[in-house]
Amino acid sequence: MSGGLLVAGTTSDAGKSVVTAGICRWLVRQGVKVAPFKAQNMSLNSFVTTEGAEIGRAQAMQAQACRVEPTALMNPVLLKPGGEQSSQVVLLGKPVGEMSARGYHGGRQQQLLGTVLDCLEQLRGTYDAVICEGAGSPAEINLRRTDIVNMGIARNAGLPVLVVGDIDRGGVFASFFGTVALLSPEDQRCVAGFLVNKFRGDVSLLEPGLDMLHGLTGRKTYGVLPFRHGLGIDEEDGLRVSLRGAVRESVVAPPVGEDVLRVAVCAVPLMSNFTDVDALAAEPGVVVRFVDRPEELSDADLVIVPGTRGTVRALEWLRERGLADALVRRAAEQRPVLGICGGFQILGEHIEDDVESRRGHVGGLGILPVRVRFAREKTLTRPQGEALGEHVEGYEIHHGVAEVQGGTPFLDGCRVGQTWGTHWHGSLESDGFRRAFLREVAAAAGRRFVPAPDTSFAALREEQLDRLGDLIEQHADTDALWRLIESGAPQGLPFIPPGAPA
């Protein structure tokens, strides 16, 4: 068998990523060898595979749901926005240049269709099933001609399409009907049916509407997933701390010590890999929030300057907001600050950037004795090391090359007083290191905070993936889903006018 399915959505953030992960986890628990796939992803949250390829974090999370190692085949095209008009194009895990949206959709995207289909074919030749995730909405009629991620991939690869709608937003029936009705007859034949996401209340009250939807479209609804807090793991973009909700609602979440620990994350423009703080938010008694005003740093026990796709732009933003001066004062007062990747570069003395911003020489905040030069080749590695007496693993994604000229060594960066800096993403997911780091922060902040001795970030993530699998198993028609994956869309599905514009 070599089955497949494309999970599309009525909108962005309808739940495609988590539904795809849930289907993957359900299948692997049935003994199916399964892999995820997203032809084209636009995200600043990315991950580095073991072979040194950069892919979207959502696909890395979905690979974990499948219990397989992520590879570049699972996300052959990654677009990393660098502003309102352009993105870095990452092809098969490596950057190949910057491109405007007009240039990409004007021809480059369609040229990549062959590469995308080849990657999908390789996965289908290796796995029993490949669960694909779409992007945005398949009914984006202005982009259909060059589409390689929704109906373009479904038509070319013969994949049935399941359309997910977020009922919590309202208007889900109109969204389902309108999505199908704006597709061409050929595209409509691929759309097998619908899946309702984030439903609150009594399902029996929804069922008449689902019956009417079936009558209008000839397509069934494959499940109604109830609303569950804390399931948005490894989001593509946004400002949500994905594990915080689940931990806050847990009966075992109170602080171990007498105090909580407050963490403020500077919400810099083009923030990348904000998932770095998920592991902190998973700790009982750690409160994480995103901030954009200097006064919000005053009561924080730890301030994090996160990664960003625009280091110089983020530095200017910090200065414009008064946050830069607040960070300098905080460091001088020996109050904890952590800079990660672009945030680490910002804390340094000097930035030479002829690659990302092309601004040349720019002065940093001067908190750490570091000079940064942007190289055209991107660093993509999965380093391991030791810090604070504990084993640490992480991953690096950056153009900036740091020359550390002092301080105490800290991972690949350095530490001066209570200010730390490193390029390593994901280091706080190493449980022993995270606990040691939080003990240092608590001591410096004068907080009687004690890290929980048994918090396992990996175990929490596995629990969440299992919860996603449970949602599919308990609230979807899994027999019908399996037939869809194995045999494709039902024959004879009716055309819903008006169809796509000529």
399, 423, 425, 475: which one is catalytic?
425
- β partners of residue 361: 352
Cα–Cα distance, 378 to 369 (Å, whole number): 23
Closest alpha carbon to 167 in 220, 212, 206: 206
Contact 62, 36 (CB under 8 A): yes
Contact 331, 367 (CB under 8 A): yes
Question: In 10 A of CB 458, how many CB atoms?
Answer: 12
CA dihedral 206, 212, 217, 223 (to 10 degrees): 20
Closest alpha carbon to 52 in 37, 34, 70, 40: 70
Letter for the amino acid at 483?
A: R
Contact 430, 384 (CB under 8 A): no
Token pair listed for 4 = 């497949």
Q: Is the peptide bond before 306 cis (omega within 30 degrees of 0)?
A: no
CA dihedral 426, 62, 112, 117 (to 10 degrees): 150
Query: 350-353 and 360-363 as β-strands: parallel, antiparallel, unpaired?
Result: antiparallel
Cα–Cα distance, 50 to 92 (Å, whole number): 13
DSSP 254: S
Kindly give, in sequence order, each residue whose CB lies less than 8 Å from that of residue 208, ignoring residues fewer than 6 positions away: none
Alpha-helical (H) ranges within 355-447 are 431-445
**Does 119 participate in catalysis according to the annotation?**
no
132, 341, 399, 414: which one is catalytic?
341
Please report how many Cα atoms fall inside a 13 Å half-sphere around the Cα of residue 215, on the Cβ side.
6
Cα–Cα distance, 51 to 54 (Å, whole number): 9
**Does 425 participate in catalysis according to the annotation?**
yes
Tell me which residues are annotated as active site: 341, 425
